[in-house]
A and B are shown apart, each in its own frame.
Chain A
Amino acid sequence: MNTSIRRAERRWGEGVIKFWLYSCAAISIITTIAIISLLIVESLGFFDEVSPAEFFFGTRWVPLLEPSSFGILPLLWGTMQITVMGAIFAIPLGLASAIYLSEYASDRVRSWVKPILELLAGIPTVVYGYFALTFVTPMLRKVIPDIQVFNALSAGIVVGIMILPMIATLSDNALRAVPVSLRQAAYALGATSFEVTTRVVVPAGLSGVMASFLLAISRAIGETMAVTLAAGQTPNLSFSPLESIQTMTAYIVQVSLGDTPSGGIAYQTLFAVAMMLFVITLLINIVSQMILSRFREVYE
């Protein structure tokens, strides 16, 4: 009798606990809904006043001064410039490091270098901003005297340095997942280590390697502090990496540093730009997940 009552109590308590756990897990769904609906609602308010054609195809971004103009292309261009430069720098070097770690390095070297790379991936981005301003830019100035104090090149290089450890560690994981038997088969056929790596291991781990590139690129697009500090605040459609530019993220920071009144057009531009940023990074992340799940070679 007594035990059955206690069992019923226990079951009741289980229900409460399960509900609590469920609510916690639901917070992540609520967060997503909040982000998406917030961005949509506020962007719609923005598009009441600015035509989508002007926003997506306009080539001047002057939101805070009269006469104002709301073409996002300069910001998009700025972000793209930094991302491409970062990727050009980090992808070959990151992949080479990953190949070294997974194919050549001894276990001892690997057990030292990998944690160091992971640690580096955790350095706050504001620190990279400091590197760009006090180290990379002065060095670039020695080589290219007429480079501006704030310039896209220095920001691109620093973003590259920032995403390099991420590419190296994630690609290393992907390459290590390729079974040893594949390598042994290739060596048995007389292939050199270069041929084994480039024709067997990297193609076999390609889905993971590509996913690491995409994740790094998406991180570079969303990167804020280093870019804000190093690249400046000048929306610019210029092709020269020596000039100051402004990225989408840097614009958001610029507006929020000033005291923006809620509800004005300047406040709403935040959400339109953030929407753009959110959609781009989300698309890249989804593509990277698709590559991982669709094209993953499954080995026993």
Chain B
Amino acid sequence: MAFGSKEEHLNLQKRHRKARLFKLLCAAVTWSSVLLLAVLLFQVCVAGISWIDWQFISSFPSRFPDRAGIKAALVGTMWLIILVALISIPIGVSSALYLEEFAGKGRIAKIIEVNIANLGGVPSIVYGILGLAIFVRFFALERSLISGALTMSLLILPTIIIASREAIIAVPQSMRAAAYSLGATKWQTTWHHVLPASFPGIMTGIILSLSRAIGETAPLIMIGAMTFVAFLPQGPMDSFTALPIQIYNWVSRPQQEFHELAAAGIVVLLLVLLLMNATAIYIRSKTERRLK
């Protein structure tokens, strides 16, 4: 096939047509995936929105759909998030600080690092089994909020640690050097300079991890969060239910009304998640601007 010949020209046309087709195909796939998810979310909203009113927010679960509500689930989820935050934030951020600032590049640090990466890939239901055997049975904490919170904390620790480490790595080395040169100890440098500088990044990671904890269902089912709770928990030792469990309970019933209740619950859950994600994005964009 000679250069500039007719066949070559046709061949080139064919190749370009193929390229255009490929581009079109990739674009179509991407947009239809986004569209598909938009349709699904729209469908949930349509099914659930008419059920959302003050009565739905302020009622306990009930056998009768029109009297059922998410009061216990909402309060349970809030308790859970506060407890998980109290447990996992100090431990997670401390671990990240140890790995980045104190551990050096030794073997132990490497082992912990690989270990955290692998823990992040363990299915959440395995954490549920761990929680059931260790917290519920062995430490006899029963099927309480604190069992759930401890299990969830173990589950999201790897994510918090990895996100915090990324934020800490991003702190310029010159900042540490400046602190050391003024006579600060390692911890003073870490506490007064590294931590504040990496705070927005750490916050973003924490919020995203906590929002994962809000949606997790399987570990809570494992540790036996009750699905029918007609009271509010008064303390960490009380039994509880949570939003995703209540949704699961309603979805698994055959009646149409309960599916609509589930949709209403999902809308509330997604709103909470959206709010948290928006906060994380807001923090990220604000600090990005400041660094520029």
- Write the residues of chain A forming the contact surface with B, with a CB cutoff of 8 angstroms: 10-11, 13-14, 17-18, 20-22, 24-29, 31-32, 34-35, 38-39, 42, 93, 96-97, 99-101, 103-105, 113, 115-117, 119-120, 122-127, 129-131, 133-135, 161, 164-165, 168, 192-195, 197, 215, 218, 221-225, 229, 249, 252-253, 256-257, 262, 270-271, 274, 277-278, 281-282, 284-286, 289
Contacts and interface: CB of A to CB of B under 8 A. Distances in A.
A135 B262 CA distance: 13
For the residues of A in contact with B, the DSSP-based class is helix
A93 B121 contact: no
Contacts of B115: 28-29, 32
A151 to B, nearest CB: 16
B259 A134 contact: yes
A21 B27 contact: no
Which of B125, B186, B217, B218: most chain A CB closer than 10 A? B125
B19 A270 contact: no
B215 A126 contact: yes
Interface of B: 15-16, 18-19, 21-23, 25-27, 29-30, 33-34, 36-37, 40, 43-44, 47, 90-92, 94-95, 97-99, 102-103, 111-112, 114-119, 121-130, 132-134, 137, 154, 157-158, 161, 185-187, 208, 211-212, 214-218, 221-222, 224, 244, 247-248, 251-252, 259, 262-263, 266, 269-270, 273-274, 277, 281
Contacts of B119: 28, 31-32
For the residues of B in contact with A, the DSSP-based class is helix
B19 A282 contact: no
Given A119-B274, A215-B121, A277-B126, 15 more contacts: A24-B90, A24-B91, A28-B161, A35-B127, A38-B134, A42-B133, A93-B29, A101-B30, A130-B266, A193-B22, A193-B23, A218-B121, A224-B125, A249-B123, A253-B218
A197 B27 CA distance: 14
A120 B37 contact: yes
B130 A14 contact: no
A16 to B, nearest CB: 10
A130 B19 contact: no
Given A126-B215, A127-B44, A21 B125 contact: no
A17 B112 CA distance: 19
